[in-house]
Amino acid sequence: MNNPLLTSFKTPFESAPFHQIKAHHFIPAIKSTIAIALEEIEAVTHQKETPTFKNTLEALENCGTLIGRNSSLLFNINSAETNEEFQKIAQDAAPLLTRFQNDIRLNKKLFKRINFLYENDIKESLSREQLTLLEKEYKSFVRNGALLNDDEKEKLRVIDSKLAQLSLSFGEHVLADTQAYYLHIENKLDLRGLPDNVIEMARNMAEEKKKKGWLFTLDYPSYVPFMSYAENRALRKKLNGAFSKRGFQKNENNNSAIILKIIKLRQTRAKLLGYKSHAAFVLEERMAQSEKNVKSFLDDLSEKVHPAAKNEWNTMATFAKEHLDIKVLEKWDTTFVAEKLKKATLGLDEQLLKPYFQLEKVLDGLFIIVKKLYGLSFIVNKEVDPYHDEVKVYEVHKEGKFHALLYTDFFPRPGKRNGAWMTSYKSQNISQRPHVSIVCNFSIPTKTQPSLLTFQEVTTLFHEFGHALHGILANTNYSGLSGTSVYWDFVELPSQIMENWCYQPEALALFAKHYETNEVIPRKFIDKIKKAAYFQQGLQTLRQLSFAYLDLSFHDKNAHLIKSVKNHEKRQIESLKFTEDPSDSCMSTAFSHIFQGGYAAGYYSYKWAEVLDADAFELFLEKGIFDKNTAKSFLENVLSKGGTEHPMTLYKRFRGKKPDPLALIRRAGLA
């Protein structure tokens, strides 16, 4: 069979030839490349020479490159361009790949060689990066069962295989419920309050589905504007109800049982490895270090912001009663009322901002900002094969030389999950440059207008681009320490710090230009944007904290006692909310970050990293937002270093001190 996944790609920069790759290629290729990788590992373990860093750890780093590439391709496509065939293949591939990982981590002979290196005094001869790789690999083996007996190892294999499949099923269910629903409106009066471009998008959607009138979906570019502007309260309730029921309906997509299985399996796995809980297992390898420290961090932040959040809620409730005839604020009212209040108090109408944020202009301006900071240039490459016609591919150059490939994918479509993320198709190491991708779900162009972003979408673009920079600018010897291969509560620093440039007049002048006149956004709007940065920061912070508390509670030592996902969720976050959730809604059943993504026992890291980014950006504000020396220091000490050293060591080398926890409070205007 002519299977392109069985060899290296003979393409520009060895980029993936997506149009040659078919779904049926994956399972045969994964099986074949697993066999090759296991042979490579056997060659490492059967050496007669005494273990050295080169013949063991470097050799291990070079094993399984094809399987790593092919599995990345499969799961990235399954997130951005999936269908039933791909979902079935991902389900079939998951246990194969999990078994392969277990075959490595539970390989006695391989661990014996690594253990020899770890316990014998060779550390003096290693570079800082080599020492980090040795410590990381040793811990990875131990934390994945290398010290277990044979029966325990077999139990671990079964658990890991089940978890891999359950996680995939969770994501498939959320996607299925998201795409199964649309709100069909035929009466024009029901569109009152909605901006013209949102109405046009809804009309285009209806035409695509061969329906009369207008269609609104649960994809963010459709859902968020409807909840923000639609005056028909009953329809807001209806759409919010559908959104809140994803994974919680009486159908085959219900995720309640899957969540209970996942949290119990995670806890069983943690105890098998000698930890009190999954959270304890996870946090051992985080900056936060322990559940106690995370809880203390969340409690401290909650105590500081709760009074402000309560005042903000009371202000919103009073405004709703006096100006919008809403006697009791409900869940489906909050976004709508907040938008009205923002307009009334700040004079800021988000719809007046959108013409200044044409996607193409924002992206061009972002490229200029990144060139000023880090010397990168972006050139469209039409020779590299994208996985979808909407995807653009850029060659990234630094100092006149090729540095990376960047894939950009910006609009929602069937088969693409909600949200925004950065991912990698090819990692960086001493012999290769990375291929990274940013995937978003932004406001789509219409027949009369280009893609005009909300300000929140602008910050999302900058956020994901920050993650991309972490990959693009990586400069390490080993893939296992490159780019975003860092402690999870450090990984958000490069992304969140980039959002800060969205609020600076000097940066806005580079990309906030009217899509028709090219007029730079007026200063009065910039002032309002900066004031809006403080708007309802208490409520927004409290919302993020509620997610972090909920996440931690699903993974603490009492997780096995949870009988009802809905009841548990209510108990955990009731004190941090100001509205009652209907009995038929549940946030947890669509909480993909922790049950499909990598944020289990780590959702707190968003706020943790916000402390870092607020503190770090204060240095940029002090020196100048385009100060070359500050940018160079951030590049050399953070962006290029990946996980080569402890993140606090890297941070202090950049900042000259530990982060100030109050920096976040100051930036949020809550000090």
Which residues does the annotation mark as catalytic? 464
CB-based contacts of 662, cutoff 8 Å, min separation 6: 671
CB-based contacts of 337, cutoff 8 Å, min separation 6: 316, 319, 320, 324, 326, 329
Residue 210 exposure: Cα atoms within 13 Å on the Cβ side: 0
CB-based contacts of 533, cutoff 8 Å, min separation 6: 503, 667, 669
For residue 277 the two structure tokens come to: 């809980």
- Give the number of other Cβ atoms within 10 Å of residue 19's Cβ: 10
Cα dist. 161→155, 165, 270, 278, 322 in Å?
A: 10, 7, 15, 17, 56
Which 8-state DSSP code applies to residue 397? E
Give residue 660's identity as a one-letter amino acid code. D
Distance CA 613, CA 271 (A): 35
Going by C-alpha positions, the residue among 394, 397, 408 that lies closest to residue 371 is 397
For residue 628 the two structure tokens come to: 């070359």
Going by C-alpha positions, the residue among 350, 328, 331 that lies closest to residue 340 is 350
Which 8-state DSSP code applies to residue 18? T
Going by C-alpha positions, the residue among 31, 164, 34, 3 that lies closest to residue 91 is 164
Contact of 472 with 376, CB cutoff 8 Å? yes
| Residues 41, 46, 50, 54, Cα dihedral to 10° | -30
CB environment 271-309: b (16+ within 10 A), e (fewer): bbbebebbbbbbbeebbbeebeebbebbeebbebbbebb
Distance CA 223, CA 201 (A): 12
Distance CA 217, CA 240 (A): 11
CB-based contacts of 615, cutoff 8 Å, min separation 6: 655, 659, 660, 663, 664
Which 8-state DSSP code applies to residue 407? E
At residue 417, what are phi and psi to the nearest 5 degrees?
A: -75, 160
DSSP track, 203-252? HHHHHHTT-SSEEEESSHHHHHHHHHH---HHHHHHHHHHHHTTT-SSST
The C-alpha angle with vertex 96 and arms to 256 and 588, in degrees rounded to 5, equals 15
Distance CA 392, CA 627 (A): 30
At residue 395, what are phi and psi to the nearest 5 degrees?
A: -80, 130
Give me the long-range contacts of 566-575 (CB less than 8 A, separation at least 24): 566/248, 566/256, 572/546, 573/546, 573/549
DSSP track, 589-638? GG-HHHHTSS-TTTTTHHHHHHHHHHHHHHHHHHH-TT-HHHHHHHIIII
For residue 29 the two structure tokens come to: 């290729």
CB environment 315-350: b (16+ within 10 A), e (fewer): ebbebbeeebebeebbbbbbbbbbbbbbeeeeebeb
Computed on alpha carbons and rounded to an integer, the radius of gyration of the chain in Å comes to 25
